[in-house]
């Protein structure tokens, strides 16, 4: 890749950092924000060589794309084989998802997992917050379901950590239950 940026002794890549840079990491955003962005670039065309980072964080980025597949592929290209890619996306049907008019790709948790499985062998799913917060008992029930039964669908925001990038793109074709 021409105009490739050499990264020396940087562990992490913070994609879509906005006004929240990670100290000691390479902070990238599409917008030039003084004081927080090290490199201005689009998530699907990152100016780095293959396998340069141990940890990549893309917090509230993928839902702003029409199709997140190329971006996920780019993250898989940049992560070291033993590294971790962490994405965070708003849960479908929450205020975090629906109130931002710049969100272009909203999906349920199962679909996000399938998208990440196309590029990575190992995934770990978690969530942040709870979906419905207007009643204390409902909040308690949701936290219980999330913590005890790992029902992260009740979370306000989903966090997916991926490891072991695939060497070749392998689209996951969902199994059609009605064909069994």
User: With 60 as the cut, is the pLDDT of residue 121 above it?
Assistant: yes
Angle between helices 69-78 and 109-117 (to 10 degrees): 50
- Note the CATH architecture for domain 12-167: 3-Layer(aba) Sandwich (3.40)
Mean pLDDT of the 49-78 span? 95
Quote the pLDDT of residue 7: 58
Its pTM stands at 0.84
Per-residue pLDDT band at 131 (split at 50, 70, 90): confident
Percentage of the chain with pLDDT > 90? 67
Mean pLDDT of the 68-73 span? 95
Contacting residues for 36 by C-beta, under 8 A, at least 6 apart = 17, 18, 19, 20, 21, 27, 29
**More confident position, 139 or 170:** 139
Q: How far apart are the first and last CA of the chain?
A: 45
Nearest to 47 by CA among 5, 83, 19: 5
Quote the pLDDT of residue 6: 63
Q: In what helix (H) or strand (E) does residue 136 lie, and over which residues does it extend?
A: helix 136-149
Mean pLDDT of the 89-112 span? 90
Rounded-to-integer distance, Cα 169 and Cα 143, Å: 36
Nearest to 120 by CA among 177, 154, 179, 75: 75
**Mean pLDDT computed over every residue of the chain:** 88
**More confident position, 5 or 16:** 16
Rounded-to-integer distance, Cα 38 and Cα 16, Å: 11
Quote the pLDDT of residue 11: 86
């Amino acid at each position: 890749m021409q105009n490739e940026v050499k990264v020396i002794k940087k562990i992490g890549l913070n994609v879509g950092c906005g006004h929240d840079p990670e100290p000691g990491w390479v902070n990238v955003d599409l917008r030039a924000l003084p004081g927080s962005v090290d490199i201005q670039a689009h998530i699907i065309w990152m100016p780095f060589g293959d396998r340069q980072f141990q940890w990549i964080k893309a917090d509230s980025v993928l839902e702003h794309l029409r199709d997140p597949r190329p971006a996920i592929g780019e993250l898989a290209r940049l992560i070291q084989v033993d590294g971790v890619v962490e994405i965070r996306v708003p849960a479908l049907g929450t205020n975090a998802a629906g109130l931002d008019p710049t969100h272009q790709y909203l999906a349920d948790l199962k679909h996000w997992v399938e998208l990440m499985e196309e590029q990575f062998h190992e995934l770990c799913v978690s969530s942040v917050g709870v979906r419905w917060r207007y009643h204390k008992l409902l909040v308690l029930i949701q936290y219980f379901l999330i913590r005890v039964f790992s029902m992260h669908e009740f979370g306000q925001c989903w966090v997916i950590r991926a490891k072991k990038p695939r060497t070749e793109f392998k689209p996951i074709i969902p199994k059609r239950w009605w064909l069994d």
